[in-house]
Structures are given as structure tokens and as C-alpha cells.
Chains A and B, each alone.
Chain A
Amino acid sequence: MADLETFRAETRSWLEANCPDEMRQPVRDEEDVYWGGRKATFKNDAQKAWFDACVAKGYTVPAWPKEYGGAGLSAPEAKILREEMGRINARPPLSSFGIWMLGPALLKFGTEAQKLRFLNEIARGEIRWCQGYSEPGSGSDLVSMQTFGEDKGDHWEVNGQKIWTSYADHADWIFCLVRTDKTNKYQGITFMLFDMESQGVATKPILLISGNSPFCETFFDDVKVPKEYGEGIPAQVGEVNRGWDVAKYLLGHEREMISGADGGDRTSAIGAAMLRQTGELDAVLRAELAMFDVDALAYGAMGEKFLDEMKAGKGHPAQPNMMKYVGTELNKRRHELMMSAGGSTSLEWDSEETGGGKPSRNWLRTKANSIEGGTSEVMLNVVSKRILDLPGA
């Protein structure tokens, strides 16, 4: 315990010295988030300084081992760092699908050489990754996907189409589910890594109801994917034809991420902010906000319990599905209430006052929360089957 208190004190003074004031403000727009990658630019010096300091300390991925670019923190230490960053509202120095998704998959399934190369690239923000899972005909029923990689000896020739590829137009590399055996549904998928600059890759942003385009359609036309990127660095994570195991594992992580299990701003009541914004609240709206805050604060405790149990190897392995279901439904409710509290101001689509229609665009964006990464209905199916053990589910 004494060691942890020392660590907390050290962390606090390190943050004090290294986290610039500008990086202690809530994230206001997309530019405030640093995603890294070949094409990345920093919004300002503070963002760069904070990022550089964290890379040097291993704090872009604090819990990863040092040899892979992390800080090698234990679970209690990582929790303390999270708490201390939360205390000063420090922004994440680097956001990326590499950190949240590919990294955990590599840590579990990758070869040593793969880890050394790709994890370090992720930790230093050098490569920005995107995820190629869904296809036009394969949403909730993901395993029916058909993008095919033909074995051409020293390489795969990939043809097909992915959809809902987040930020594919900004990404450097993709981790992609590719069918490599058409005769075996579950054991015929390979989890492949390849460069988005490869010949035959094309992306097309999808315009959403929010007016934004965070997702793309991604097309593969005779894309050559080498089978190896060097000694001990195969193009696939895990074995060929066993990518579904990796995908399932990763979906668990994605569900945790989307569920906002880390708590974030869901751990504080929203009602007061709404009151400040509008000056007064209708009695029934106030009541609904209060009920929401009860649910959100309780869910914050659940997020904490969930993380604690996960780190201790307790808790049910299917619990992320529950977290994802509740977290996304809460977030949708939150934005519905914020729209109501904001009144007609919330309706403005491109005014300066609303930062270009943030309230309405964010509200619309949340409608995808309970669709992406497994719909609420699929989450409930999984909870029924794997946790409650209900028949025939």
C-alpha cells in the first residue's frame, strides 16, 4: 500500500510538471483528439508536448510492458494513473484503435516479433489503424462475411468489401477479417494486417444522419497482402483460419470501450450542467434528469466494479456485453435529455453558438452506439445465453 501511495504522489507531481493546462480541458471537438499516424498533425504545441511526454514515459499505453512501448504498470498502478488523470481532467494523449483493439489482440495472440514491431508503432502513435469487420450483408451476423483472400503462395489476394470502417480514410493500416476457407464458416476466417496504401484499396466516406462521415465503405480489388512482413512477422494475427477467435476476443474489448467502462464523464451528474445552460428546468424534465443521474452514477460504480473484477480475474467473461448494452442505452438517453434541456438552441445545425450544431450532431451520433460493435439486441441475446444460461438462445 505504501508503494502505491508513493506511486500516487510521484504520478501527481509528474502530471503537474508534464500535463499542460490546455490539455486539462474537456475534449470539445474532433481536433482535440490526437489519433496519431502517418498523416497526423498536432492541433497546437500543448497537444504535442503532452503527447511527447507520455510517449517517453510509456503513458500512451501505461499497462503494456515496457519493451512494447508501455510503462509496465500493474493494475493498481494503472488505476491510480487513471484516477490522477481524471482528477485534473487530463485528456488522453493518444487515441487509437491500435491501443484499444489491435493492441490487446496482439498481446494475446501475436508473435514476439509482431508485438515488438506493431505495439511499439502503436505506442508511439506512428501508425493509425482501422478495423475491417462488417460487410454490407454481414452486420449482426458477422460470421457470414465473404471478403476473400486467395492463397497465392507468398501472398494473399484479397477481394471484397467492408463497411462501417471507422476513419478508414485517415488510417494507415487495417486489421481485417478475411475469409481464407469458404468451406468452413467459423474456422475459415483469418485476421489479417495490411497497409491501406496497398494497390487496390479504396475508401469512400459514408454520410450519416449527423451530417458527419466518421465511417467508410472500404473496397479491396486484387489487393496483394504478403504472407510475412519479416522474420517472425506473419500478416495474420493468430493462426490462418482461426481469426474468428481473435475477432471474438476483440469484440469483447470493443464492447468494453464503447460501454465507456472507464466511467469518464458519466460519473458526474448532468442535471446541474443542464440547469446552468438553460436557466430553468421544467419540473418533469428535472425529475427525468434526476432519474437519469441515478442510473448514470450507479452505472459508474458498475464500471469500476467491472474493471476491478476483470483485473482480478473475477466476474463473468460475458459481462462486457452487459456493460455495452447498458452504457450505450444510457448514452442515448443522456443525449435525448440534453436535447430537451437545450430547447431550440439544440436544433441549430451549423450556428457558431453551437459549435456547428454539436448538440444535434452528437445526439444523432449516439444512435449508432447501440448498433455498432454488436446491437443492444445481440448483447441481450449473449447475456441470456452465456450468463443466464437460458435455453435455445
Chain B
Amino acid sequence: MPLYHDEDQAMLADTAAQFMAEEGAIAKQLRHWRDRDCKDGFGHELWKQFAEMGFTGILVNEDDGGMGMGNVEAGIVLEQIGRNLTPSPFLTSSVLAATALKDGSDDLRGRYLPGLLSGDSVFAVAIDEGAKHRPERIKTKAEKSGNGFKLSGQKDFVVHGASADMIVVAARTSGSDDDEDGITLFAVPRDAAGLDHAAVRLVDSSVATHMKLDGVELDGDAVIGEVDGGREVLNKVLNAGRLGAAAEGCGVAGGAMDMTIDYLKQRKQFGKLIGEFQALQHRAAHLYSEVEIARAVTIKAGQLLDAGSEQSDLMVSVAKAKVAKAAGLAVKEGVQMHGGIGMTDEYDIGLYMKRDRALQEFLGDAYYHAGRVAQMSGY
């Protein structure tokens, strides 16, 4: 498969680009909701529009009423989301939770997918425990209780947790904290007794929660996949989410870079356009190289993931790490090259910097994933 978008994918990219530029624009969405101190951090009306476009069910099988597309296609939508800094629950609902639900029972899929497809439901995933992404260690306990389970523990960085109608929770049903096995995924409904969210607004104006599970009772049918065999599903969810975050990061990087290059062609100092200075030209050209490479490896990892390649774990981590570095460079150079105006809230470049920072952290930063690359490569 060639490493560029085929005709259908290119069409999807055009559609998503146009939609996001019109409906998901910074002024219309991010600033709008941020300035109103919105408790969700995104607009439900836009989420309904996502559904009308078919985006919300992009990864959902056609048998279940979705588009039946792959991670490359989800990435195409996410790149446009990134480029426009469009706040939405797409990544957590349509990528992470939807991937988990692929392994869910008919009953679970019937319960949750219609709401996702119509844009009425929002989902979140609760994986992290603590401030850093360490999914190898899961302490949250799920103990047998009657026909079902009782969940206790604390989850952090649950993006859209307080807005979510259902939260996919990774919990330990056996073994010790660091065991590979003994993990089970649960679909926890928002109104479950004992579930408590402390919502926190993050630097990028998104809202996440510290989530407490205090003896949350669930029926056995809330289990996604096999009891004790959740690691495999979790890895699929993580791969899809990390690739999605990488794709969104490519959009953030591309948006920040384009804005900055434009600025170099407009801003005059010392009687010259600042883009005429070689000191800035070389940095801009270096940035372009990094962003292009980040895009290439993101498409590559997406193709491998969709093909079920055994290399996909490695390349998803490479992509996540590379994008984090490239997008980080794009926003840092962006603010610096904009000079004073780049420090103002009025100008959008700073919003790119904030979003990038949150995306870098989401599902593992460059250090985490580079470490994983080393580990998977045998050192």
C-alpha cells in the first residue's frame, strides 16, 4: 500500500477539512466555549453535526450501523480537528471507546453504539492512575460481587469524564499491580452509584476529571471482552488512541507551522520581511522537515495498525513520540517567531501551544514512547 491517501481517503480529508474549518473553527468553538467557561469544554451541537457527517461512527462496524473505516481514516478526521483546535469528544468516544466496544457483547454494543452514532452520547476512558501514563500498572480493583463486580480505586486524566454517558474503565480482577494479566475492561454508566468525578479544567481548556470509584457495583454484562483477559483489548484501545492522538498532533503541528510561516511573510522589522532572515529561514525549513516526517510515520503506523501488522505496536509508539517532538517544536518555534504577539491571548498561536501540551501527555509522552521503542527493540 503506498504511503499516501488513496482517492477515497483524499475525499474524506477534503470533506473533513472543509467541515472543520467552517464548523469547528477556533473562534466558533474553542474560544466560544472557553470564554463561556463551559463545563464540558465542547459543544454538543457540534457533536451532533459530527454524527450527521458520519464521523462519530467512523470506526464502528457497518453491521452496527457505523462507517466501518480504519484508523487511517479516523486519523484523517483527527488531523483536521488538530488543525482547527476543534474541541470535541471524538478521540475519547469514537476512537478509544469505540475500539473497546468492538470487543463488547451484542448487548453492550446495542446499549451504547446507537447513542454514539446519533451524537447523543459521549464516552470517556479511564486508564491512568497518577499524573503519568503507566498502563502497565493498574491498581484499581474489581472484585467479584454477586453476579457482577465491585470497583474501587482512583483514575486520573479522564478526559471528558464528567460529560461522559459511559466510561471504559481498566481495572484489576486478579494478580498484582504490575501484572500483564488480570486486567478487565468495564463499561461503567455515568449514573453508577459510588462513581464520583472531580472535574478540572486543563491548560488547553478541555475538561478532565479525577475519578473515584468507591465500591461501584456492576453487573457481569458490563465486562468488555474477557474477564482477566483485558490486556489485549486495552492494547488495541491504546494503539488506536495513541495513533489518533498522533494524527491530531500532526494537525496541531501543521496548523501552527502554517500560521507561523504566513507570519514570516507579513511581519516587517529592520525594513525587511522577517522571513528574509536566514536565521529564521533555516529554523522554518528544519521545522517543515520534522512535521513532514511526523506525518509520514503517522500514516505508516495507521496502515500497519489497520493491517493488523505485528509491527504496529512499535510504529504507533514511534509515531506518538515523533509527533510529540515535532508538534512541540512547531508550537515553540511558533510562539518565538511570532514574537511579543505570540504571547497574547488574542492571537491563536498560543492556543496551539496549549493543545499540543495536553496532547503530548495524553496516552504517553515522547519519553514514555521512546522508552517503549527501546524496550520493544530489545534494549
Contacts and interface: CB of A to CB of B under 8 A. Distances in A.
The answer to whether A and B assemble together is yes
Interface of A: 269, 271-272, 274-275, 281, 286-287, 289-291, 293-295, 297-299, 301-302, 304-306, 308-309, 311-312, 314, 322, 325-326, 377, 379-381, 383-384, 387-393
B321 interface: yes
The interface residues of chain B, by DSSP majority, are classed as: helix
Contacts of B347: none
A51 B97 CA distance: 55
Given A286-B374, A308-B4, A390 B296 contact: no
B292 A308 contact: no
Contacts of B300: 301, 304-305
Contacts of B289: 322, 325-326, 383
Contacts of A326: 289, 293
A8 B122 CA distance: 46
A256 B373 CA distance: 27
B299 interface: yes
A272 B273 CA distance: 48
A379 B272 CA distance: 23
Contacts of B371: 287, 290
> Which size bracket describes the interface of B in this complex?
35 or more
Contact of A293 (B272, B282, B373): B373
21 contacts: A269-B378, A271-B377, A271-B378, A272-B377, A293-B373, A293-B374, A294-B321, A294-B373, A297-B373, A301-B299, A301-B315, A304-B300, A305-B3, A305-B4, A308-B4, A325-B289, A381-B285, A387-B285, A388-B284, A388-B285, A389-B265
The interface residues of chain A, by DSSP majority, are classed as: helix
A301 B3 contact: yes
A381 B281 contact: yes
A286 B325 CA distance: 18
Nearest to B324: A294
B297 interface: yes
Nearest to A294: B321
Interface string B342-375: 0000000000000000000000001101110110
A83 to B, nearest CB: 12
B379 interface: yes
Contact of B296 (A272, A289, A302, A384): A302
B296 A391 contact: no
B275 interface: yes
Interface string B290-312: 00111011011100000000000
A308 B4 CA distance: 8
Contacts of B293: 295, 298-299, 301-302, 326
B340 interface: no
Contacts of B141: none
B339 interface: no
B3 A380 contact: no
Contact of B273 (A308, A381, A387, A392): A392
A331 to B, nearest CB: 15
A32 B325 CA distance: 38
A294 B296 contact: no
Interface in B232-267: 261, 264-265
Contacts of A392: 272-273, 275-276
B319 interface: yes
Nearest to B320: A294
B322 interface: yes
A322 B371 CA distance: 27
Nearest to A314: B4
A293 B296 contact: no
Contact of B373 (A275, A281, A290, A312): A290
Given A297-B297, A308-B2, A383-B285, A391 B374 contact: no
Given A272-B378, A287-B370, A325-B289, A295 B322 contact: yes
Contact of A290 (B282, B315, B374): B374
B322 A298 contact: yes
A322 B294 CA distance: 13
B19 interface: no
A73 B87 CA distance: 48
Contacts of B286: 325, 380
Contact of B284 (A305, A314, A325, A384): A384
B288 to A, nearest CB: 6
B169 interface: no
B80 to A, nearest CB: 19
Contacts of A301: 3, 293, 296-297, 299-301, 315, 318
Contacts of B288: 322, 383, 387-388
A132 to B, nearest CB: 29
Given A301-B300, A322-B285, A393-B275, 4 more contacts: A302-B297, A380-B281, A383-B289, A384-B282
Contacts of B377: 269, 271-272, 293
B315 A289 contact: no
A377 B318 contact: no
A89 B377 CA distance: 19
Which 3 A-B residue pairs are closest in the complex by CB-CB distance? A269-B377, A301-B300, A305-B3
